Amino acid sequence: MFGWILAVTGDDLYHRLAPLDLMEPEVTSSPDASMVIKLTLDAFTAEKLLVKKPRSLPTATFCAFLIEQALDTPGTLAERAEASVASTLLLSSSLKDKSNKHICKDLSSRKSRKRPDYSDEFLAFWNEYQKAPTKAIGQSKYKAFDQWRDAVKREAPERLVEAARRAVELVTQAKLQDEWCAPLPDAFRWLRDEHYAVHLEDHVPSGPRMINGYKVYD
């Protein structure tokens, strides 16, 4: 507990503060008929008081100012407490309403995003592509399906699946032989940029070629 000795003027102040469980005042013989009141505060209240107190004011002076200001404000302590509780409940209710509205909006947005109806051919391609031991992280299935629908306008679905199988096989072989090989990009970029075309050429790869000291897999 924290406490200060406050020099407060007038008998009326003590009688109006008596319900606050103050100690018996010691009436001094000062010319202005001041009385000394010992006010004990809990640690939390004392910390708040020190934070609000201007540096230029002594603690006792600031406390006396707050008491005088409170006494000049209409209403009893009980009424102020009830008003504080009502204000807190109103704020809590407002925050709850906003939170509920946000949740409802989020659920509505999720419902509006209908899950794509992935075709069997695309799922075969996707599963094959994901077998690559080294590939870009964060693969987007939804984006890949968008590009897949464009790609099948140029190539048959089974040929795209075969191209993915060959691409994965090259990366797998390079890894097994401890050779560097560029990881496969995101599936949607692989389709969008037509990386599959090189794997659909009508020739049998003759094996890796040496370029500038590096093995390159066709």
Q: 1: which DSSP letter?
A: -
Q: Enumerate the β-bridge partners of residue 214.
A: 211
Q: pLDDT category, 99, cuts 50, 70, 90?
A: low
**Tokens for 132?**
């690559």
Candidate ranges 14-23, 97-106, 121-130; pick with highest mean pLDDT: 121-130
Question: How do residues 23-59 score in pLDDT, each as one tens digit?
Answer: 444 444 445 555 667 777 788 888 888 888 888 888 8
Residue ranges covered by each domain of the chain? 2-71, 120-216
Whether 197 shows a pLDDT value over 60: the answer reads yes
Question: Would you say 53 and 73 are in contact if contact means Cβ atoms under 8 Å apart?
Answer: no
> Mean of the pLDDT values across residues 192-207?
77
Adjacency order of strands within the sheet including 2-9: 2-9, 34-41, 26-27
> Mean of the pLDDT values across residues 117-123?
94
pTM: 0.44
| pLDDT at 58 (0 to 100) | 85
Contacts of the segment 72-78: beta carbons below 8 A, 24+ positions apart: 77/19, 77/20
How far apart (Å, rounded) are the C-alpha atoms in residues 58 and 166?
Answer: 83
Instruction: Tell me the CB-side half-sphere exposure of residue 43, using CA atoms within 13 A.
Output: 1
Instruction: Tell me the CB-side half-sphere exposure of residue 100, using CA atoms within 13 A.
Output: 6
CB-based contacts of 119, cutoff 8 Å, min separation 6 = 148, 157
